[in-house]
Structure formats: C-alpha cells, structure tokens
Amino acid sequence: MHRGAVADIDLDALSHNLNVVRTLSGDRGVIAVVKADAYGHGALGVSGRLEAEGISCLAVAYTEEALTLRSGGIHSPILVLFDKTDGTEFFEYNLIPVIYDLDSAVRFSEEARRRNRPLDVHVKVDTGMGRLGLNSENVLDDILAISKMDSLNIAGLMSHFSDTCFGGDSIAGEQLRKFVALRERLLPRLKKKVLCHIANSAAVLSSSDAGLDAVRPGLMLYGYSPCGAGVHRTANLKPVMRVRTRILTIRRFRRGTPVSYGGTFVTERESLIAVLPIGYADGYGRALSNNADVLIRGKRAPVVGRVCMDLTMADVTEVEGVKEDDEVILLGSQGGAEITAHEVAAEAGTISYEVLTSLGSRSKRIFKGAAKGI
Ligand SMILES: *Cc1c(COP(=O)(O)O)cnc(C)c1O
C-alpha cells in the first residue's frame, strides 16, 4: 500500500474558479499566484491549465519555483514575488522580478546594462503589511530613482494587503487609499502605462474597488475564500483538491480499550476502529487528534486518539458495511457529505492555506483534466 494520501486535483474546478475571478473583477488581467507548489496543488499541472485558459501572468515566491515551471514548458510571464538573487536567471528565463529595495534595483540595472537587454520589473511598496516593499518617507522619489536607472523598465507597481478579510474601514481600506494616492502621484511623473495591482482573493471576493489594473488571487483559484465558508458559498467556488486514502485495517475493541499514544481516547462501547495509513508526516496534523472527522461510505467517522507519525485511527462503529480497503476522504466530498479545508483548519487551529499546502504537498497527486505530459 502506498503510504499517506492521494490528492485528486480537479483542473476543471480550477477553470471554474478562474472564471469566478474574471467575473468578479470585471475581466481585469489575472496574475495567478502559484507559489508553494500552487498552494499544494502542483504548480506545473495548475499552471499548465491556467496558461491554456489565457492567464496574463503567474506569480511564484522564489526563483527556483519559476525555473521548475520553465523547465516544465510554461511560457507565460512569471512574476517572482520575494526572491533576492543576482539576477541572471531573470534574463535567461524571462522572469519578472519584484523590486522591494533600492540595492536590488541597482544590481538588476547593472546586469541589464551589461547584457544590453532592458528588464521589466514590478516595484513593490509597503502600504501597511509590514513585510516587504519600499516604505520610506520618500517612496515616490525612490520609485522615480528606479525609473531613471539604466535598462530597467517599471512595468508594474504593487502592494499587498495584511487583512485576509477585506472591509472598507479595515487596515486594508487604509492600505488601498495609500496605494491609490501613490499611483495618482506617480503615473503623471512616469508618463507611461504601469500595471498597478494589489487585490488578493479577499479583495476580489469583497467586490471592493481594489481591482485597479489587474488582480492577484491565490486561494480562491483553489476553491476557498480566505474569509471562511460564508463568502465561499456566495461566490460559488469549487474546491480543487480532494484528499483520500484507504483503510489499512480494522480492529474490534472491547469497551474500555485505550487507542493510540497516551490513551487519550478510551472506547466507551465495543468499537470498530479503522487504522489509516496517514499521519502527521503526511501533513495530517497532530492537532487533529480526537478532533476531526473523515468520510467513509458517505458517513462521518471521528478521528480517535492521537494522530501518529504514519497512522491515524477513526471510529467506524457506525459506518454500516465498513471493510478494509474502503476509501477514506480526509478533505472533499463523498456521498452527500463534505469536509472542507475550512473545517479541518478550524479543528487544527490554523487556516485553510496551511491545510491545503501541508496535505497537498505530501500527497501523491492525480490531475483530472490535465493536458498530456503533465
Ligand atoms: C500569497 C500572495 C497573494 C495571494 O493571496 P491570496 O490570499 O491567496 O489570494 C497575492 N500577493 C502576494 C504578494 C502574496 O504573497
């Protein structure tokens, strides 16, 4: 038996969610965020489909991720959000760096001049996230200085929200006002088109006026709202990932039998306990001990006892007809029942982003609807 879980990646659901993004953002350009192996969904498979759907641009965190996409045959423009490198790959593989400090701008400009090849860059400003981005008092002057550097072309201006739930009087509202004000002062000085973008999934889903020239969603492409289940339903997003495994074996325990490390669960009746070939090493967090459900034969079965490194137990006493090798759903639907990443996240004390990246990155992925070769 294969250890851990299988993640089914439904690329048609991805296309559906992209259409939701396009509709909600008034058909603005979409910069699709595929960092962290497309939030655990597999960056190559996901990017292949997004490219076929005519995406404007992809965004990754680090250069290495962009190179993986290029060697997998992805041709779309790729924005590299966070990396600080010497810049050579950006020219060789046609990547777009995000510039968030003046030093990097100088280095990129020198490299571009040396190669006699102008380089498109996007400049990032910090409007309140407190992470990366130009944030001096003279941010306008800093950007104008970059614009005058040899062989650099400011093709984009961006910022990032710190709120994952967007509201007009939240921090995000203030960030947006700052960003728009900067844009209005900057554009007449630059006298050219610059693609301005700030909208993450939360901003797209809130139908805020943060769309500007392009939107930059991640999570919602994978079928979830950062704001939880409510908005998720309104927007009609479809989860792209389904995670499943099979029952390794079933034990029959007498009443009063402790289950798993520390005996944190003790059977209160004669019980059927299914042992599953998945554990925290497979991304099924230990915080889910005695604290989550899985689906078997369309019924919820509670996880009992501690989640181990390679094994997890579930009480299947009430699952009629249950047998070894039955399919077990950790994330996704079966019969009429569904386990969402929101649910698992709440149980594990985390967010849907982390549930998707941890389960997805450690599961064996199967793409539904993939073009040949991916
Ligand atoms: C991750 C990320 C996004 C996407 O955010 P979501 O909440 O997943 O939509 C957009 N921009 C930047 C800079 C990011 O790091």
Same domain, 66 and 185: yes
State how far the Cα of 167 lies from the Cα of 181, in Å rounded to an integer: 18
Q: Which of 178, 222, 224, 261 is catalytic?
A: 261
Q: What pLDDT is attached to residue 136?
A: 87
Q: What pLDDT is attached to residue 163?
A: 79
Same domain, 34 and 74: yes
Reported as half-sphere exposure (CB side, CA atoms, 13 A), residue 10 has a value of 15
Q: What pLDDT is attached to residue 227?
A: 81
Residue 91's domain comprises 11-224
Contacts of residue 16, defined as CB under 8 A and 6 or more positions apart, other chains included, come to: 237, 238
User: Nearest to residue 252, comparing CAs of 324, 300, 303?
Assistant: 324
Q: Could you tell me if residue 191 is inside a domain?
A: yes
Within 6 Å (CB) of ligand 1, which residues are found?
A: 33, 35, 81, 160, 200-202, 216-219, 226
Q: Could you tell me if residue 178 is inside a domain?
A: yes
| Domain count along the chain | 2
Same domain, 217 and 274: no
Q: Could you tell me if residue 57 is inside a domain?
A: yes
State how far the Cα of 215 lies from the Cα of 9, in Å rounded to an integer: 23
Q: What is the CATH number of the domain that holds 313?
A: 2.40.37.10
- Residues 72-100: tens digit of each pLDDT: 999 999 999 999 876 789 999 999 999 99
Q: Looking at 195, 224, 253, which one is the last position of a domain?
A: 224
State how far the Cα of 45 lies from the Cα of 374, in Å rounded to an integer: 6
- The residues of the chain scoring below 50 in pLDDT are 373
DSSP output for 97-160: EEE-SHHHHHHHHHHHHHHT--EEEEEEB-SS-SSSSB-STTHHHHHHHHHHSTTEEEEEEE--
Spacing, Cα 102 to ligand 1 middle (Å): 23
pTM score of the predicted model: 0.95
Same domain, 249 and 201: no
- Residues 180-234: tens digit of each pLDDT: 999 999 999 999 999 999 999 999 998 678 999 999 999 999 999 988 766 655 6
Spacing, Cα 260 to ligand 1 middle (Å): 38
State how far the Cα of 91 lies from the Cα of 109, in Å rounded to an integer: 12
Mutate which of 216, 221, 352, 355 for ligand 1? The one with the most ligand atoms within 8 Å of its CB, which is: 216
The one-character DSSP state at 260 is S
Same domain, 201 and 271: no
Q: Could you tell me if residue 372 is inside a domain?
A: no
Same domain, 217 and 250: no
How far is the CA of 366 from the CAs of 286, 295, 312, in angstroms? Answer: 25, 20, 23
